[in-house]
Amino acid sequence: MPHPISFRFNSNQCIWTPSHKMLLRPHYFTLKPFNLFQTFSKNIFPKYKFTEIKRIGSLRFSSIMASSESTAVSTQNATPQPLQVAKRLEKFKTTIFTQMSSLAIKHGAINLGQGFPNFDGPEFVKEAAIQAIRDSKNQYARGYGVPDLNSAVAERFKKDSGLIIDPEKEVTVTSGCTEAIAATILGLINPGDEVILFAPFYDSYEATLSMAGAKIKGITLRPPNFSIPIDELKSAISKNTRAILMNTPHNPTGKMFTREELEAIASLCIENDILVFSDEVYDKLSFEMDHISIASLPGMYERTVTLNSLGKTFSLTGWKIGWAIAPPNITWGIRQAHSYLTFATSTPMQYAAAAALRAPDSYYEELKSDYVAKKKILVEGLKSVGFTVYPSSGTYFVVVDHTPFGLDNDIAFCEYLIKEVGVVAIPTSVFYLNPEEGKNLVRFTFCKDEGTLRSAVERMKEKLPKK
Ligand code: GLN
């Protein structure tokens, strides 16, 4: 039964369900006044005043929706109003990462879901930020980046890819890679343009393409190797294809695009005059092979936007410093969008980011060896629990097949895992255009300290029975 003051809402908006494209049925939204709030919500989320309950068959997940503090005083008795959102965002839900991290707190579960380290970034980078604040680097930055950071990005790119670029004309600093992706899409894609994505894909791609009015075509990468089906890619290309949006190392699978795959993509792009948007935020977390930027392939720099950020490499995901590298004519579109999205990015953090990117090689080597150890704990642990673990060459994620445990789908599995076992994973069906394709797969992250990873494995060994 819905709560007495709940209201029925004949739309699927703001309800997360991987089957939203398959099911269109009424959902119930429950408005809970503050005095009905559970203790955890009061303590941890004082500014959240709604919960939403979603129903998919027998499954129920609750999640939270934010509202501002300033409106929190007088709305307790207000008549519930339908949620408002523009059509282009109607079908998108509270992000899966937000939902799962909230549930982790609610159930006291170990969070191997959202990809943020539970350890801190390096002292020298934090010190550089503090110093920049003390040195009064606190007013607006130049829109496309403080000169020192643009230079540091160009230096790093040369070291990593061999390409020499102009920091003033070919680097745009953004608020995280997510904004770099948005500025790239909004600055370069027209409504009706076709953009090809590899599923599973990071959730912001689809939402941002939808904001731009793009037509999305999905190519599915399938286990166990998640390799690129080049023939399918070839047939997905039409005269309207404007860009391919790719991600290597790949979230959520950990797949790294091989040189052969990159060459095949490159030759299709050159032949058909297609742009490539390449999200490479996990480039420094490449374990089984060397990372290759597609921009470094012959004929590709002039049609590629290389997207990256500070967060993963320096365990500072909250800083939101990212950048887009592209030739000047393409940078023009990116900067036009960036200028009117955020205009500029946090000034002191940019100075610190420049210091970070100039870290000695030993920093990157140590980062990698720390992650190799963490990955081993998680992968071996998951295998010993009974999962089929798919090979992950890069990122701090690993995807497993959960079906040995007898749950219906990825969501049912994750719900069971949170409530009965006390561990959070990410259901992957939300990363596909056809959610059915992800129903057997869930993603775990190993960007947590070793004790946390071991405890999560122990919990699963104890409480997750094989069927
Ligand atoms: N990139 C992170 C992940 O995949 C999440 C970022 C976010 O919460 N939007 O887990």
For 183-229, what is each residue's pLDDT tens digit? 999 999 999 999 999 999 999 999 999 999 999 999 999 999 999 99
Last residue of a domain, one of 358, 376, 409: 358
310 vs 350: CA distance, rounded Å: 10
Q: List the structure tokens of 158.
A: 């040369």
Residues 6+ apart with CB under 8 A from 411: 18, 56, 59, 61, 427, 429
For the segment 163-181, the average pLDDT, to the nearest whole number, is 98
Contact present, 153 and 171 (Cβ < 8 Å): yes
- Of 40-44, 61-65, 299-303, 420-424, the one with minimum mean pLDDT is 40-44
Q: Stretch 441-451: mean pLDDT, rounded?
A: 98
pLDDT in tens, 254-305: 999 999 999 999 999 999 999 999 999 999 999 999 999 999 999 999 999 9
What is the pLDDT averaged over residues 55-69?
Answer: 35
Residue 204 shares a structural domain with residue 333: yes
For residue 66, tell me if it sits in a domain: yes
Same domain, 417 and 378: yes
Q: What string of DSSP letters covers 233-281?
A: HHHH--TTEEEEEEESSPTTT-----HHHHHHHHHHHHHHT-EEEEE-T
Q: Which residue has the higher pLDDT, 8 or 110?
A: 110
The count of structural domains within the chain is 3
For 432, the domain range is 110-120+362-463
Residues 55 and 143 occupy one common structural domain: no
Ligand 1 center to residue 91 CA distance, Å? 19
Cβ < 6 Å from ligand 1: which residues?
A: 95, 97, 114-115, 251
Top mutation candidate among 97, 181, 313 for ligand 1, by most atoms within 8 Å of CB: 97
- 2 lies in a domain? no
By alpha-carbon position, which residue is closest to atom 2 of ligand 1? 115
304 and 194 housed in the same domain: yes
Structure tokens at 409: 């789908």
CA 22, distance to chain mean position in Å, is 23
- Tell the residue nearest (CA) to atom 10 of ligand 1: 115
Same domain as 338, residue 261: yes
Residue 100 counted as domain residue: no
Mean pLDDT of 411-440: 97
Cα of 441 vs centre of ligand 1, distance in Å, is 17
Measure 382 CA to ligand 1 centroid, in angstroms: 21
Do residues 87 and 218 both lie within one domain? no
Tell me which of 323, 358, 393 is where a domain ends: 358
Helix axes 176-188, 203-212, angle to 10 degrees: 30
Among 117, 181, 173, smallest CA distance to 351 is for: 173
Do 396 and 348 fall into the same domain? no
Domain boundary residue, one of 340, 358, 376: 358
Residue 380 CB partners (closer than 8 Å, separation 6+): none
pLDDT at 52 over 80: no
* Ligand 1 atom closest to 202 (CA): 4
For residue 405, pLDDT over 80 is answered with yes
Contact 372, 167 (CB under 8 A): no
Show the CA angle centred on residue 338, arms to residues 253 and 155, nearest 5°: 70
Atom of ligand 1 nearest to the CA of 445: 10
| Residue 262 and residue 162 in one domain | yes
Look at residue 78 and tell me if it is in a domain.
Answer: yes
Considering the domain boundaries, does residue 102 fall inside one? no
Q: Do 33 and 138 fall into the same domain?
A: no
* CATH number of residue 129's parent domain: 3.40.640.10
